[in-house]
Amino acid sequence: MSTTPDPMPRPLDHLALRGDDADPALVLRREALSWKDLRSRVAQLAGWLIAQVPEKGARVATWAAKGELTCLMPLAAARAGLVHVPVNPLLKRAQVKHILVDSGATLLLANSARLASLEAEDLPANCPAIEEKAALEAACSAEALSAHSTADPADLCAILYTSGSTGRPKGVMLSHANLWLGAVSVAHYLDMAADDVTLAVLPLSFDYGQNQLLSTWFAGGSVVPLDYLTPRDVIKACGRYDVTTLAAVPPLWVQLMGQEWPAEAVEPMRRLTNSGGALTEDLVRDLRRIFPNARLFPMYGLTEAFRSTYLEPELVDAHPTSMGRAIPFAEILVVNHNGEVDTEGELVHCGPLVAQGYWQDAERTARRFRPAPKASQYGGMAVWSGDNVRRDEDGLLYFVGRDDAMIKSAGNRISPQEIEEAVIATGLVEEAVAIGVPDEKLGHAIHLVVRGNGSEDALRAALRRELPNFMQPSVIRWLDAMPLNPNGKIDRALLAREAA
């Protein structure tokens, strides 16, 4: 990487131009695609997509495990002038239905098992569903769209759905420039190269997960997508593919650190990256012990601005709990309650990585995306994170706490209200409050407080049908009456204190 990364954004499909023809670009379970193959498959898939959805700017959703389709779609949809909506493969039909309806999706590509879980009414009108294997086979005979996109980098490119502190998942609107510059920035500060191999273990529906692909491809490297069942699967893949780059969230690192790592899985490793929650000092020590020659990059980010900070590996041992400093193309300000830049206050992210707002949600957009503070060099709209941070005398940032009620469990941002709505919908309880309680392994464990006459077994069975695993409560507490505050509302603060 150059000393100063190129700030000129391009249409996202131009990432397919980065690598040498014969070098590996995508290592799938049954075949490896060279960069020449990648370019060809992207062009064919883009041509097939245009035949299915000719309207520019239409939303196309994917709901499948990691594979050729889900890995190529970010580039193919961009080339076809469409907006990609990747759906977390762990979600169940209720959440998927909301995303399809909210985004106005005009096509759903999914594997057969997930399609079988949907009812006819789950699909919006004029949104056909096509099985992923059938789509890939049809794309092989489609007329390739070889012309690279000439889209304005400011055009909408993808909508990533993330839970808010209240309400249903909201779609974060990302432009070509957002995704391109995010790839450039990460590839630059990680010092990635064409001989790097990234094991992509994180969901591609997350910004952190999708960037595994994009930053590696910007550097001309190779990606190995992996849907793992056990930590041993990750370790075996690291050894089998000579993985040099591994990104994970703290709960996965905890699982991986409890395993034996053979030399063939450790020696090729050049860098480890963490986001989705802070690393503990014990975890940092374990990572440094097992991977003494790998560089460790703790990072902080939020989907609305992709990535905000990273800690330089050379500083990790002395400052293991720091979030570090701003990544390239990001300006990070700490703003107090008076709107002034200070040493402690709300983290405000300014610059070209700031997303375009929430899809068709002007009210929530106005709350999170507000004019940048006067001290900003970039100006324009900024993301006001709701996270309180502290900046020390060396310019290093430290997380202090959250302003909202978001539950962050196993690397997932979870809306309490979304869980509560699902609980009430079972008909087994009258009232429900979901609380995040600090947990060493998960970040937060979900404690559910309910009032009703149903049984715990029945409630848990119903929730297993309606909510993904990471939204399942660890504890369910039954009350005869919910405590109320002076305003007559449920006293959530009291319940949280009792749960803790």
| Cα distance from N-terminal residue to C-terminal residue, the chain | 46
- Predicted TM-score (pTM) of this structure: 0.87
Tens digits of residue pLDDT in 209-261 = 999 999 999 999 999 999 999 999 999 999 999 999 999 988 889 889 999 99
Do the strands 381-391 and 397-402 form a parallel or antiparallel pair, or are they unpaired?
antiparallel
Tens digits of residue pLDDT in 36-72 = 999 999 999 999 999 999 999 999 999 999 999 999 9
Cα 436 to Cα 304, 445, 449, 493, distances in angstroms: 22, 6, 11, 11
Mean pLDDT of the chain: 93
Q: Do 467 and 488 touch, CB atoms closer than 8 A?
A: no
Tens digits of residue pLDDT in 447-498 = 999 999 889 999 999 999 999 999 999 999 999 988 886 555 788 889 989 9
Q: Nearest to residue 313, comparing CAs of 327, 292, 298, 293?
A: 298
Q: Nearest to residue 202, comparing CAs of 88, 125, 121?
A: 88
Domain boundaries, the chain: 12-391, 408-499
Tell me the average pLDDT across 308-334: 95
Q: What is the third-level CATH fold of 408-499?
A: GMP Synthetase; Chain A, domain 3 (3.30.300)
Left if phi > 0, otherwise alpha if psi is -120 to 50, otherwise beta: which for 81?
left
CATH number of 12-391: 3.40.50.12780
pLDDT score at 165: 47
Residue 74 has pLDDT above 80, yes or no: yes
Q: How confident is the model at residue 163 (pLDDT cuts 50, 70, 90)?
A: low
Q: Nearest to residue 160, comparing CAs of 14, 309, 310, 306?
A: 306
Q: How many CA atoms are closer than 13 Å to the CA of 155, on its beta-carbon side?
A: 21
185 vs 350: CA distance, rounded Å? 15
pLDDT score at 109: 98
Instruction: Tokens 């002034």: give the residue.
Output: 340
273 vs 253: CA distance, rounded Å? 10
Q: Do 470 and 479 touch, CB atoms closer than 8 A?
A: no
Helix (H, G, I), strand (E, B) or coil at 185: helix
Helix (H, G, I), strand (E, B) or coil at 72: helix
Burial 304-329 (b: 16+ CB within 10 A, else e): bbbbbbbbbbeebeebbebbbbbbbb
